[in-house]
Every structure is written in structure tokens, then in C-alpha cells.
Structure 1
Amino acid sequence: MRVAEAFEPEALERLVLRGDVRYFSVIFQDLDGRIHERVLKAKNPEALTGGFRVDGYSLGLASIEDSDLTVIPDPSTLRLVNSPLGRTAILIGDLYYGSKPLPTYSRHILREVAEKLGFDPLVGLEVEFYLTSGYKPADNGYYWSPLSSTASSFLAGVIEELENAGIGVHSAHHEVGPGQYELLPEPMSPLAAADALLLIKKVVWHKAAQHGLSATFMPKPFTGLPGSGLHLHLSAHRNGSNILVEDGQLTEQGLSFIAGLLAHARANALLTNPTVNSYKRLIPGFEAPVLVAWGVGNRSVLVRVPRGPRGASGTVEYRLPDSSGNVYLALAAVLSAGADGLSRSLKPPPPCSENAYKLAGLEAVPRTLHEAASLAGSATLPEGGGREAIGLLVASKLEEWESYISSTGATPSQTEVTEWELKRYFDR
């Protein structure tokens, strides 16, 4: 059954009658990156097609005096998964104001950006997270360490669930930190990749709970341990050819794409790294970028060109983002930055072949959420809804920063993870 057919009321009813689905779940992200969900008994599938009224004020997307928005499920996103509810059909919802798409809704913004790039992008995600028990790492593993029976069962369950839902997973492994893991979904279009991340989070949370554990995508849950990023592997295609890399070498367009990423990295940081805790990850010594530089095979820089057996592997890796915020906004900003580099034929600085942490004179990424918010006015989101969304997000993040400062009562540490952060971000 094709997805479009599956969303027809008659086809949905057949799913219910066959026992293929017990519940429908409609999910979406707010500007802050939190996932929202409404669950319906499967016996009432016709309720999906008309959408649902939602409080836009509580989502930070509307004023209290004019707060009614509508969530309408996107039929192309229907995925069947096994959840704690039982067999569940999950759909991503789009937000509307009246009969028109809400301009500040991040999924609409990414869709608009992708349509105007001038190339066809593919996005590969490196999704890092910690498996925990009682707010502590669940194991003492290390980078690519052999998997315990619990970890093997957990990862197999996650991969099989995602594969059965139509999301291919290239591989998975233990990451550097104890209890830290990485999933690598197959490359997808930007919208599909962003949608997939929401489902990946839900599946990881559910499977962890089945093993009596918790999973956190928090950028830096533990002081002194590696942070969890969301590295983006980007390629750009025209007429079926990758315009960034040819025969194992970066093209002139590839260099311009990298230059665009670097030129806008600081202004886009609020969208790629949108929490107080994000900046606890961006410190030297943990393979997280702190300086605006690029290189080939160099994991100390912000933009890395992975090296394969025949030279450049075909993608450009953007290492700044994490999973704590709105993935649609992050992808929209990063792809727009690369596209700007292409349109203006920008030239990057020479590649960095040294340990960037030990170099002086390079521009630094923002060190705090407050600094990132002060730079976000120049972020690469489109005029109209994109600019409005930035304004809403900046206001929200400045309040978040003030709350953090008030809670600490002193000059905040760049490295120490606080109880305030754990309470606010651990379940993201």
C-alpha cells in the first residue's frame, strides 16, 4: 500500500480492521525543538484528515489573543511503528493559521528553502546520544567497543524498528563516551531527514525504556565526558551529479559551498546550537569545533571533508550542530549558508591541516547562548516567516539565558553541567 493511498479514509479503516494499527500519533516540533504529540484511537481515522486545533500561544508561535492554529498531518510522512501504545501510525503535522501555512512554522521554512536552493541536496545525519541509568552512563564502553548483550539488543531493536518504518540505517556503533552511541541513517532529502530525526528520537526513547534505561540527546549531559553532536554530511546534486566533489577532489563549487558554511557559522549558531547546554559541548579536547576553520580528514575543525580511499569521500561534514533544538531550522540555515557561498562564488581560507585547538588567530564560534542570540539577526533564513521565526526564537532564548543566570547566581561556567540544565534538557 502506497503512503498516499494509506492516508485515504477507506484505506485507513482497512488498516484498523486488519489490526495493523491501534493508534494514530501526530507529532511536530516547536521552534524550541520540543516534540509535541497527539494520540488518537485508531477506530476514528477520519478525524485525521480535518486536522486539530492547537494552542499556538503555548507553542510560542502566536499571541494569546489570537492563538488558534491547526495541525494537519502530512500524509507522506505516515510510518508504522511498535510503540508503548501498541502498533502505531505516526505522522508529522504541519501548522496552519486558518487555511494558510503558518509562516513561522519550521517545517514550512525548510520546505521553502529547499525549493529555492538551486541544487538537490542530500543530508546524512550522525545522531549521537547517551544510554543512561539513573542519570549516569549505562556502560563503560569506548569508541567502537564490542557491544554488550543489552546494547546489542537495544540497537537491534532500534534499527529494525526504523527499517520496518522505512528509514534505512547505514550503521550504528558505540561512541567515545561511556554509554554513548551513534546511529547513521541513510542520506535523505532535507525534509525527510528532519522528519526522520523526530521518529528516531521517539524510537530510541521507547527502546531504551524497554531495557529499563533512558536515552538523552542532550549536547553535554556529563561534565568531563564527550558531548553528543548532530554532524551533517551534505552533498549537492545537479542533473544527477555531485557538484561538490569530483573524482575524489573538491570542485570550485565545493570550495564555495564550504566558504558559505564558514561565513555564516557564527550567525547560524543559535539555530544549530540553541540551548545553554549546547555551548558546554563546544570546548577544546572533545572533538567538538570551537574555531571557524575547515580541513580534510581533520576532526578539530568546524567543516571537515571526510577522506576516503580515493580522496574526498563525496560529502562535506558540518560538525557544529547538536540535536537539542529544531532540526528543520538548523538544516534550513546550514543549506542556505552553503547556497549563498555557491551563488557568490565565495573562497574559503586555506584548509587547516593542524590541530585547530592549538592555533591562534582563528575566529571562534560563540561561547554562550547569549552570544549566539546576539548574532542571530544575520542568520541565513529567508525573509518573511524565516525572519519572524528568528525574532521569536531570539526573544525566547534570551529569557532562557536569564533563567539560567538567575539559577546559578554567579558567572556561569563554560564546562560544568548544572542541575538546571539536566532538568531542562535531559529529556529532549
Structure 2
Amino acid sequence: MKKSAELKQERALKIKAQQDLTALATTETRALNTEEATAFRAVQIEIDDLTGQIEIAETAERNQRSLEGSQPTGFVPEGQQRQAEKPVFSLHRAIRSQMVNGDMKLEGPELEMHQRASKRGLALGIAVSGFAIETRATSQTVTGNSGADGGNLVATDLQSPIDFLRPEPLMKKLGAVYQSGLTGNLRYPKNAGGIVASWEGETDEVDSTANAYGYVDSIPKRLAVTVPISLQNLMQSSIDLEAYTAKEINAAIENAIDAAAVNGSGTGQPFGVLNVSGTNSVATGTDGSAPTWANIVDMETGIFVQNASAAKMSYIVNPQTRGKLKKTKHEAGDLGYIMDKSGEINGYPSVTSNHVPANLTKGTGTALSAAAFGDWTQLLINQWGYMDFSVDEFSRKKEGFVEITVNVFLDVLVKQPKAFSVIKGLITA
């Protein structure tokens, strides 16, 4: 009898074949024709049969493990130790399973992860090109799931690599809301208001009023990253090297999410807070102007006027603006600076990031900065389906590298632009 891992591999191939059968109909947004439907049902019969075989095989394997565990201690040869630990997901094992000349195949925790993620891909109508792993709200961390998403870099014989200097992750710190495990496009009905109560005389007729409703959509957008991994790194598969691989991939993805959330252009990527329409705009001079205390008050006032204030609101500035605010007093003769020693601006916390541009132009002004203030819980980070890993072992084989390309499907949505104030054209030099 075949092992459950082999049967699961066969079932995964059948599921992939079934996805291929539906791909054209999904692209053309139509139902399956008679031939496609017949083929689909035939493959489903095979999948159901394999599922039954897997259940039998897993039951037999569990019984075997139980029998082995019940043997007396003396039955185990001296010097041997039983391995009772449950296998955990290994990113490097999954990568090696995709290499043409490798001696490994997708099985165990890696296969189970792939199958779960593939089901989500099928619901989205997206075929998996390599192997897939699930995304969750915690998938950007590197310590969860017993190391499946990465782990702490613990030095063994190899010293920890020196990290690339990236902007500090922002959105989680600011309070943006993450939603994961999504399948279809999202539509958010939006109430623009309209119901009004009015004072009337005892027998006067009151005018009818009604809310005006619109909507905003959130649709998955592909975010891709290619990571070169040395063959030596991949084949050694030490815990710290594997953790570093996962950490670098996650850091690149989280960095791209933050950049889009702050300054996304809306072209091939989501609109960020600085560019989405409907925010409260605070003006600067014709050619830009230095930040003032009045600018800060105007940014806060705009949000309160729109009834969009919240208990937790924060500023986001770039390093240039941060430095300028810490050197600029409220007004002439005032001992206080716009940004105090704790980093607060008029009692509100601030974060600093190079994702906020410092290369804007206005009139004849150049190298100008932007800043934003608002309720960051009004910003959604939506995650669909899975992370799709494709392995290319040939393009850089002479250098001893394997390239891992990761595709994830995400969107950034500003639910209420009025909850944010934006200023552009700040002179910070």
C-alpha cells in the first residue's frame, strides 16, 4: 500500500489538472462546456478516490506508530532515540522539491500547506505556478507557527548575516487593519449621509430625506519578489539560514506594503494615503514653504471638521521633516518646538519613514517633502489566498544561485479618506 504522503502528492497533481481544466472558462468568465464539465467530473472522481485512500493510509500509519510506541523500552536497540516530534514546515525543503534534479518531493507538512493554499487559489481562479503557502494576518512575522514563517536568527557555526537597512515596518505600528484568507473581490457599501432631522411646527409637514450610498472595491493586486539563494545556503538547510531566507522574503513584502500604503500611485499598485482622493489637503506656498505650527493645527482641524477624529491618531513624516520640526519653534520667542523630545507633535505620536517622499516639486521648489496625519485604523491591508513560490535553478546556475520568485495577492484600501490630512511641498533644508 502506498504511503499517505505519496497519495497526497498524486492528489495534488489531480487538483492541479482540475485547475487547468477550469482556467480558460474562468478567464472567459463563462460556465464549463460539456466536454470540460465531463473531464472535470472524471478528475473529481479520481480525487475523491485518492482522498479515501489517504484516509485509510493515514489510519494505518497512526496505528503503526501507536504499536511502535507501545513496545517495551528494551525492544529499541541501545543508543537509538525515538523521534516523537511532529514535523514542521520547512521552506527550504519545499524549495528543493521544485528543483528538477533534486531528490526530494513535496510531501508531509510542505504538501499539506500547499494543498490548503491551492484550494484558496482555485476559489480565486488563479493557478499555482510552483508551490504555495497560506497567508494570514500573522504571515508577515518571522516567529510564528513553530518557525514555519521564519524564526529568530540563532547563530550556530555560521554567523548571522548582516541585514539590509530597510525602513522600519509602519502599518502594524500605526494600527492599520489586516484582513487575510480572502477569496473573492470585496465591495464596501459607503454611506455618504443625507438623513436630516429638522424642527417643524406642530402641524407642519416634514420633508423626506434619505441616505446616499456608494461603494468602494478592494481587488487583489499581484505583489512579486525574487530572492536569490545560494546553493550552499539551500543545501545546508540550517535553522538560522532557513529563518534568514523567510525573514528576507517577509521583510521585502512588508516593506512594499508599507510603501504602497503611504505613497502608492494607484497605477499598477494601490492608492496610498498621500495620493488617494478625498483627504483633507493643507496648502503650502507657491514654491513650497517651511512647516509651521499653523500647518499642524490645520491638519488636525481638517479631520475634526469632517467628524473623522479618533482616539488614536498619528503623524507620519520623513527624516528631513522630522529634523526640521525638531528645530522649528511654535512661533518666535516660544521655547517649545513643533516636535518635542519624545517625538510627539502637539500631543500626537509620530513615526518617521523614508517611504514619505522628499523629492517632490512645486513651482520652482525642488526636494520638497510631504507628511500625513490621521486615523490609521481607517486603512485596510487585505490579503488573498496564498503565497506562490516558483523556483528557477538555471538562470544563475553559474554563480551558484537558485532564484525564488514569490507572488502574493494584496490590496491597500483607505476606507475613509476624510480621516486623513495631507500636506505636500514642505521645505526642510
Q: Report TM bin, short chain.
A: under 0.3
Larger Rg over CA atoms: 2
More contact order relative to length (CA 8 Å, sep ≥ 6): 2
Q: Normalized against structure 1, the TM-score is what?
A: 0.25
Q: Normalized against structure 2, the TM-score is what?
A: 0.25
